Structure 1
Amino acid sequence: MQVAAPYRLGLLHGDGIGPEIVPAAVTVIDAAIARAGAEPFEWVELPIARAAIDEHGTHTPTSTLDALAGLDAWILGPHDSASYPLPHRSQLNPSGTIRKHFDLYANIRPAKAFPGGDAVVPGTDLVIVRENTQGFYADRNTHAGTGEFMPTPDIAMAMGIITRPAVERIARCAFELARRRSKRVTIVHKANVLRLTTGLFHDACREVAGDFPDVVVDDFHIDAMTAHLVRAAGEFDVIVTENMFGDILSDLAGALAGSLGIAPSINSSDSHAMAQAAHGSAPDIAGQNIANPIAMILSGAMLLDWLGARHQDPRLTDAALRIERGVAATVAAGTSTRDLGGTSSTTYVTRAIVAAIR
Structure 2
Amino acid sequence: MTSNPNRRYRLGVLHGDGIGPEIVPSAVAILDAAFDAAGLDPVEWTELPLGAAAIETHGAHTPAATLEALAGLDAWLLGPHDSVSYPEPHRSQLNPSGTIRKHFQLYANIRPAKAFPGGNAVVEGTDLVIVRENTEGFYADRNTHAGTGEFMPTPDVAIAMGIITRAATERIARTAFELAQARGKKLTIVHKANVLKLTTGLFRTVCREVAADYPDVTVDDFHIDAMTMKLVRKADEFDVIVTENMFGDILSDLAGEIAGSLGIAPSVNSSDTHAMAQAAHGSAPDIAGRNVANPVAMILSSAMLLQWLAAKNDDPRLTDAARRVEDGVTATVTAGTRTRDLGGTASTTEFTDAVVAAIQAA
TM range (shorter): over 0.9
Match of 1:315 among 308, 314, 317: 317
Structure 1 residue 153: deviation in Å?
A: 2.2
Residue aligning to 1:126 = 128
Match of 2:210 among 205, 208, 211: 208
Residue aligning to 2:46 = 44
CA distance in 2 between partners of 1:295 and 1:128 (Å): 15
CA distance in 2 between partners of 1:299 and 1:147 (Å): 29
Contact 1:5 1:41 in 2 (8 A): no
Structure 1: segments with no counterpart, 5+ residues: none
Residue aligning to 2:269 = 267
Match of 2:328 among 315, 326, 329: 326
Structure 1 residue 205: deviation in Å?
A: 0.4
CA distance in 2 between partners of 1:235 and 1:92 (Å): 36
Residue aligning to 2:83 = 81
* SS across alignment from 1:75: strand
- Which amino acid letter does the alignment assign opposite residue 177 of structure 2? F
CA distance in 2 between partners of 1:185 and 1:74 (Å): 29
Structure 1 residue 5: deviation in Å?
A: 6.3
Structure 1 residue 140: deviation in Å?
A: 1.6
Identity %: 78
Residue aligning to 1:228 = 230
Structure 1 residue 138: deviation in Å?
A: 1.1
Structure 1 residue 180: deviation in Å?
A: 1.1
CA RMSD of superposed structures (Å): 0.9
* SS across alignment from 1:187: strand
Contact 1:105 1:267 in 2 (8 A): yes
- Which amino acid letter does the alignment assign opposite residue 39 of structure 2? G
Match of 1:28 among 30, 54, 62: 30
CA distance in 1 between partners of 2:317 and 2:41 (Å): 9
CA distance in 2 between partners of 1:47 and 1:12 (Å): 7
CA distance in 1 between partners of 2:142 and 2:13 (Å): 25
CA distance in 2 between partners of 1:270 and 1:94 (Å): 21
CA distance in 2 between partners of 1:195 and 1:331 (Å): 44
CA distance in 1 between partners of 2:143 and 2:137 (Å): 6
| Aligned residue pairs, count | 355
TM-score (norm 1): 0.98
Map 1:98-109 to 2 at 5 A.
98-109=100-111
Contact 1:5 1:40 in 2 (8 A): no
Residue aligning to 1:344 = 346
Contact 1:9 1:44 in 2 (8 A): yes
Give CA deviations for 1:226-257 in whole Å, capped at 9, x if unaligned.
00000100000000000000000000000000
Give CA deviations for 1:130-187 in whole Å, capped at 9, x if unaligned.
0000001111221122211122222211101000010001000001111111111100
- Which amino acid letter does the alignment assign opposite residue 232 of structure 2? V
CA distance in 2 between partners of 1:143 and 1:319 (Å): 38
* SS across alignment from 2:41: coil
Residue aligning to 2:3 = none
Give CA deviations for 1:319-350 in whole Å, capped at 9, x if unaligned.
11111111111111111111111110000000
CA distance in 2 between partners of 1:355 and 1:178 (Å): 33
* SS across alignment from 1:146: coil
CA distance in 2 between partners of 1:216 and 1:322 (Å): 31
* SS across alignment from 2:297: helix
CA distance in 2 between partners of 1:211 and 1:277 (Å): 32
Residue 248, structure 1, aligned to residue 282, structure 2: no
TM-score (norm 2): 0.97
- Which amino acid letter does the alignment assign opposite residue 348 of structure 1? E
Residue aligning to 1:355 = 357
CA distance in 2 between partners of 1:241 and 1:215 (Å): 17
* SS across alignment from 1:248: helix
CA distance in 2 between partners of 1:5 and 1:309 (Å): 14
- Which amino acid letter does the alignment assign opposite residue 308 of structure 1? A
CA distance in 2 between partners of 1:5 and 1:315 (Å): 11
Contact 1:14 1:50 in 2 (8 A): yes
CA distance in 2 between partners of 1:134 and 1:262 (Å): 26
- Which amino acid letter does the alignment assign opposite residue 271 of structure 1? T
Match of 1:289 among 288, 291, 309: 291
- Which amino acid letter does the alignment assign opposite residue 250 of structure 2? I
- Which amino acid letter does the alignment assign opposite residue 102 of structure 1? F
Residue 277, structure 1, aligned to residue 272, structure 2: no
